[in-house]
Amino acid sequence: MGQTARLSGWVHRVRDHGGVLFIDLRDHYGVTQIVADPDSPAFSLAETVRAEWVLRVDGDVKARSADTVNPDLPTGEVEVFAREIEVLSKAEELPLPVFGEPDYPEETRLKYRFIDLRRDTLHRNITTRGAVIKTMRDRMVAAGFQEFQTPILTASSPEGARDFLVPSRIHPGKFYALPQAPQQFKQLIMIAGFDRYFQIAPCFRDEDPRADRLPGEFYQLDIEMSFVEQDEIFDTMEPVIRGVFEEFANGKPVTSTLPRIPYAEAMRKYGTDKPDLRNPIEMEAVTDHFAGSGFKIFANMIASDSKVEVWGLPAKGGGSRAFCDRMNAWAQGEGQPGLGYIFFRDGEGAGPVAKNIGPERTAAIRDRFGLDDGDAVFFVAGVPAKFAAFAGAARDRVGSELDLVDRDRFDLAWIVDFPMYEWDEDEKKVEFSHNPFSMPQGGLDALAAGDPLDLKAYQYDLVCNGYEIASGAIRNHLPEIMVKAFEIAGYDESVLEAQFGGMYRAFHYGAPPHGGMAAGIDRIVMLLCGVDNLREVALFPMNQQAADLMMGAPSEATAKQLQDLHIRVNPPA
């Protein structure tokens, strides 16, 4: 108190209180109240300032009176009485407001992102993002990892998504690709003898818009380790990821010991391989209670196909006809014929299903799920591979509608034992289900024997609150296993040499056992900031049509640029 100060920043808002002007001056660190009274030499200039003008203010720091202290501001106990004000820059009429942060069309927010970023919530999210990345780096270095930078201009490779191609001027008709991930490079780093790698890696994928991924590019904490098995990766990375969540959770509980859930169990219990474990609902097969029953729709399905199952989805507190009918209508809106249900009242089951299967079967289902009066159970039937996703969506819907989800916590878990292969219905062929560079459980012997669709891999995901936040695997490091694994998926050795030649050749010169993972930074920050849109945690994102409205990208190239690159544009008709 009693000191002079010089502050510079943006005019957040101006208030006129009976001839005394109050200017809230904002900078990266917060807001400070500036006072200009009629006796101040700066008063006449203060009367002219408007929102988002940039000012320099010299003045005296004074304590606020007890009744004017603002506990919501770090500077709320003081104010600066202006002696001199200099206008450093004026602002035209704003295309969107900074003060108050009302909802505004996303198109405007992205076009004027530099203004949008001044708004407190978004500014705080971006600051949090920087802090999260810093602590990730610190924790990785403390765990003995070294940071490396892998190439951005590289070769195209089929890794599950479409590449962004970059034409070469020096090599006419040839193209570089932006990396979908540093996958091959980080494995080559292990083969080169560096045993613990990490990188805050930019990844580029020319994918169609998805709600849970930023179009064009995203960032991940990329890691790889040599001479490890799956458990060692978990033991190393759990403290890092859990520690990041604990540091930024603002007191919310974080899973202390991460469960390991086999993929098949996750699909059966939750209908998804990225379950939200804050939702207590677990589904079970109740096929035996419907086989040969009077509920002919299900009974006939079971009798005609041995693969058919009926799953029950318990709904604690959902035992009213109104709620059950609402869920049935929701299912029809999802393109399903409906959602069977039983609700319980007066010690009995009610509804068409209960009437058709009879009181004994109804009571057995109630006991199986531990249900009481006021509860309900919903049913889905068919081949599980075809209805699991819908069952998972129904679980999410019931949990949300009945407020069963504890939203003030972070529940993390490993999903393990992913299938090595899956059936591609469109191509009518076996295809890799996860990562083509993964080690099959059982090695070469497992690849050579049995149905490939029954084969599991050392592949794993890390999930949190219904989102996949990391994915990884123990890698295949032996060339003969790589050849056989790709052969099963329909690729011969010439494909390996042509598309993965660098890594395939390296495997012939002493490759250590190795494995790793990549954690999605954007999704982790999104969860920690409590938002449900990735664009709320990225500095300059594109819109869902993969367009940068602020910079005007993508844009047309000039004739000279195309001539230098030996390219002619051939737009669709």
CATH number of the domain at 296, please.
3.30.1360.30
Residue 248 shares a structural domain with residue 313 = no
- Within a 10 A sphere around the Cβ of 466, how many other Cβ atoms? 19
Residue 13 belongs to domain with CATH number = 2.40.50.140
Residue 291 shares a structural domain with residue 346 = yes
Residue 166 shares a structural domain with residue 192 = yes
347-398 pLDDT, tens per residue?
999 999 999 999 999 999 999 999 999 999 999 999 999 999 999 999 999 9
* pLDDT score, position 465: 98
Type and span of the H or E element at 515: strand 514-520
Residue 135 shares a structural domain with residue 163 = yes
Query: Is 498 part of any domain?
Result: no
Residue 29, classified by CB atoms within 10 Å of its CB into exposed (0-12), middle (13-18) or buried (19+), is exposed
**Hey, what are 238's tokens?**
């759990």
Q: Which residue ranges of the chain lie beneath pLDDT 70?
A: 1-2, 158-160, 209, 211
Residue 119 shares a structural domain with residue 21 = no
Residue 112 shares a structural domain with residue 78 = no
Question: What secondary structure letter does DSSP report for 557?
Answer: P
Residue 112 shares a structural domain with residue 255 = yes
Contacts of 127 (CB under 8 A, 6+ apart): none
Query: Is 185 part of any domain?
Result: yes
Query: Is 491 part of any domain?
Result: no
- Structural domain of 46: 4-89
Last residue of a domain, one of 89, 112, 134: 89
Query: Is 352 part of any domain?
Result: yes
Question: What secondary structure letter does DSSP report for 65?
Answer: P
**Hey, what are 232's tokens?**
């060692």
Last residue of a domain, one of 39, 61, 89: 89
Residue 119 shares a structural domain with residue 150 = yes
* pLDDT score, position 211: 66
Amino acid at 204: F
Query: Is 572 part of any domain?
Result: yes
Query: Is 208 part of any domain?
Result: yes
Last residue of a domain, one of 55, 89, 123: 89
How far from 246 is each of 153, 307, 411, CA to CA, in Å? 36, 44, 11
Residue 115 shares a structural domain with residue 64 = no
Query: Is 415 part of any domain?
Result: no
Q: Are the CB atoms for 422 and 433 separated by under 8 Å?
A: yes
Residue 249 shares a structural domain with residue 121 = yes
How far from 267 is each of 391, 411, 441, 499, CA to CA, in Å? 9, 17, 20, 33
Q: At what angle do helices 521-529 and 230-248 cross, to 10 degrees?
A: 40
Residue 172 belongs to domain with CATH number = 3.30.930.10
Contacts of 158 (CB under 8 A, 6+ apart): 499
Residue 57 shares a structural domain with residue 135 = no
Contacts of 8 (CB under 8 A, 6+ apart): 27, 54, 55, 56, 57, 88
Q: Are the CB atoms for 287 and 344 separated by under 8 Å?
A: no
Question: What secondary structure letter does DSSP report for 132?
Answer: H
Query: Is 393 part of any domain?
Result: yes
Place of tokens 């900074």: 98
* pLDDT score, position 160: 67
Q: Are the CB atoms for 447 and 484 separated by under 8 Å?
A: yes
Residue 167 shares a structural domain with residue 212 = yes
Count how many domains the chain has.
Answer: 3
